[in-house]
Amino acid sequence: MQQLKLIPKVDRVLEWEGVRRLLAEQPRELVLKAVRQVLDLLRAGARAGSLDDAAFAENAVCAAVARELRMLTRPSLRRVINGSGIVIHTNLGRSILPEAARDALNTIAFSYSNLEFDLDEGVRGSRYSHVEALLCELTGAEAAIVVNNNAAAVLLTLSAMAAGREAVVSRGELVEIGGSFRIPEVMRLSGVTLREVGTTNRTHPKDYQNAVNEDTAVFLKVHCSNFAVLGFTKEVSAEEMVELGKKAGVPVLADMGSGNLVDLSGKLPCPEPTVQDFVRAGVDVITFSGDKLLGGPQAGIIVGKKHFIEAMKKHQLLRALRMDKLTLASLEATLALYRDEMVAFKEVPTLRMLTATLPELTARARKIAGQLRRRTPDAVSFKLTDGFSQAGGGTLPLLNLPTMLIEVAVDGLSPNDIESRLRGMEIPVIGRISKNAFLLDPRTLQDDDLPDLAAALTALVG
C-alpha cells in the first residue's frame, strides 16, 4: 500500500518528455486515456503489492503509456500467422489471395476505373460484365452473375426463380453452414415454401417426382459441405435430378457451396465434383462461394442458363447484394489463373496448400524448424511430429490431410501458456494444442511469416 504514494499525478505525467513526444503525434484525448489506464494499472498493482518500485519511475511509466497508446491506435483488423493447418479457416479470413490479385487491387483501388462504363460505346456499362465472360469460359455456362457471398447468391436465386412457390429439397440436404446460414431459413426469407422429401439418409428419384404439383418452382440440390452421412445412404445425383426436372418441367438449382473448378482426383483422397460437371449435367443454375476451394475473395458466384440469370440481373434484390469493385478486381485476377489448371494449382494459395504432399511438407517443416532454431533462444525447442491438417471452411469434412507438424516447447511455459501468449503478440500466431503439445503446421505457414514467427517465439522468453 506504501506504493500508492509513488503513483504520479496525471498532469505531471503529461509533462514528462516521453509522454510529450507522444502528444506531438497523437490526439491529446487518446494520450490522456492511455495515461489514465496505466495509472489505474499501477494503482491496482500497488494495492496487490505485485509491482517493484521501479514500475513507478518516469521511464517505466512513459514506456507503459507508449505501449498502451499503441494498443489503442492499432487497427482492429490485423494480420495473423496461421499455424493451425486449417487452410480455409473461416475465423482467419478463409482464403488468402493469389499474388496476381495484388496488382489488380492496387490499380483499381487507387484509380478510377470502367466499373460501370462501356469503353467501346461510351455509355453506361454493367459491373457484372467484367467477370461474366471469364466465368462462362471456365465453367461452360451460358451466363453468370456475382454477388457478395454464396448466402446472397442462394437468396437471390431462390427469390428470382421460386418466390411465392415451392422448392423441393432432400431432407438429407437441409444443411446449416457455420455462422447460422440455414437452407430452410434462407428459403423462408426468399418467400419460398420448402417441400422436404426423402429421409435423412436416403432420398430416391420418386421422392422428387411425387412432390411435384402446380406450385413447384425448382428442384434444389445442396452440397453437404460440412458433414457426411455414412452407411446406408442414397442420394439422387445431379444427372438424375436434371432428368426428373426435364420430365416434370421443373428447373434444377444447385448450391455447390465450395465451388471447385479443378480436377482434384489424384490430388485429394475424396471426390469433389466440379462446377463444370454440374453445368455439363444440365443443372439450370449453380451457386458457389468465391473464397472457399476457389481461393479468391468473398463472393457468391451464380452460373447457369441465360434466361434465369437475366431475371436475376433485373431483380431488385441485386442492388442490395451487389459486389464492390475491389472484390471484382481480385475475383477477376483469381479466375484468370484457372484458364490453365497447372497455373491454378501453383498460384492459388488455397489450392497449393490443400494439395501439398507429405514429402513436401516434411521438407518444409525441417527447413522452418532449422531456421527457427537459429533465430530463437535455446529455451525454445522444436521437434517434428506427424499429424493431420484440415481443409476447413465447411469443405471436405472427411478429409484428413497428412502433414508434418512442428512441436514448439519453451522452458517454463505450458502449451496453454505458449498458445495464449502467441495469440496476444503484436502479430498474433495461431497454432493448436494436441496431446499436451503446442503445434504449428507448415501447411498454412507462409514464407514471409518466418521472421515474424521467429520474433514472436523469441519474445516468449524473458
Can you give the binding site for ligand PLP, defined by CB under 6 A? 149-151, 154, 175, 177, 181, 222-223, 225, 255, 257-258, 289, 300, 394
The residue (of 396 and 422) whose beta carbon lies closer to ligand PLP is 396
Rounded least distance, CB 290 to ligand PLP, Å: 7
**Positive or negative CA dihedral for 115, 121, 124, 126?**
negative
**For strand 117-118 and strand 81-82, is the pairing parallel, antiparallel, or unpaired?**
unpaired
Q: Report residue 259: phi and psi, to 5°.
A: 70, 65
> Could you tell me if 222 and 194 are in contact, meaning their C-beta atoms sit under 8 angstroms apart?
no
Rounded least distance, CB 151 to ligand PLP, Å: 3
Rounded least distance, CB 411 to ligand PLP, Å: 42
Rounded least distance, CB 222 to ligand PLP, Å: 5
Rounded least distance, CB 150 to ligand PLP, Å: 3
Q: 306: which 3 cell numbers?
A: 441465360
Rounded least distance, CB 140 to ligand PLP, Å: 21
Angle at 176 between CA 173 and CA 177, to 5 degrees: 115
Rounded least distance, CB 383 to ligand PLP, Å: 36
The residue (of 65 and 254) whose beta carbon lies closer to ligand PLP is 254
> Could you tell me if 423 and 461 are in contact, meaning their C-beta atoms sit under 8 angstroms apart?
no
The residue (of 180 and 316) whose beta carbon lies closer to ligand PLP is 180
Partners of residue 194 on adjacent β-strands: 167
Q: 287: which 3 cell numbers?
A: 451457386
The residue (of 387 and 392) whose beta carbon lies closer to ligand PLP is 392
> Could you tell me if 165 and 138 are in contact, meaning their C-beta atoms sit under 8 angstroms apart?
no
The residue (of 169 and 422) whose beta carbon lies closer to ligand PLP is 169
Q: What is the DSSP letter of 86?
A: B
> Could you tell me if 216 and 168 are in contact, meaning their C-beta atoms sit under 8 angstroms apart?
yes
Residue 81, sorted as left (phi over 0), alpha (psi -120 to 50) or beta, turns out to be beta
Please write down the HEC assignment for all residues of 282-328: CCCEEEEECCCCCCCCCCEEEEECHHHHHHHHCCCHHHHHCCCHHHH
The residue (of 98 and 257) whose beta carbon lies closer to ligand PLP is 257
Partners of residue 410 on adjacent β-strands: 380, 413
Q: 12: which 3 cell numbers?
A: 505531471
The residue (of 151 and 460) whose beta carbon lies closer to ligand PLP is 151
Rounded least distance, CB 41 to ligand PLP, Å: 41
* Chain residue at closest Cβ approach to ligand PLP: 257
Task: Identify the three-state secondary structure at position 167.
Answer: strand
The residue (of 289 and 403) whose beta carbon lies closer to ligand PLP is 289
Q: 351: which 3 cell numbers?
A: 489450392
Rounded least distance, CB 419 to ligand PLP, Å: 27
Amino acid, res. 330: S
The residue (of 157 and 289) whose beta carbon lies closer to ligand PLP is 289
Rounded least distance, CB 21 to ligand PLP, Å: 46
The residue (of 200 and 213) whose beta carbon lies closer to ligand PLP is 200
> Could you tell me if 165 and 216 are in contact, meaning their C-beta atoms sit under 8 angstroms apart?
yes
> Could you tell me if 177 and 257 are in contact, meaning their C-beta atoms sit under 8 angstroms apart?
yes
Give how far the C-alpha of residue 25 lies from the chain's centroid of Cα atoms, to the nearest Å: 35
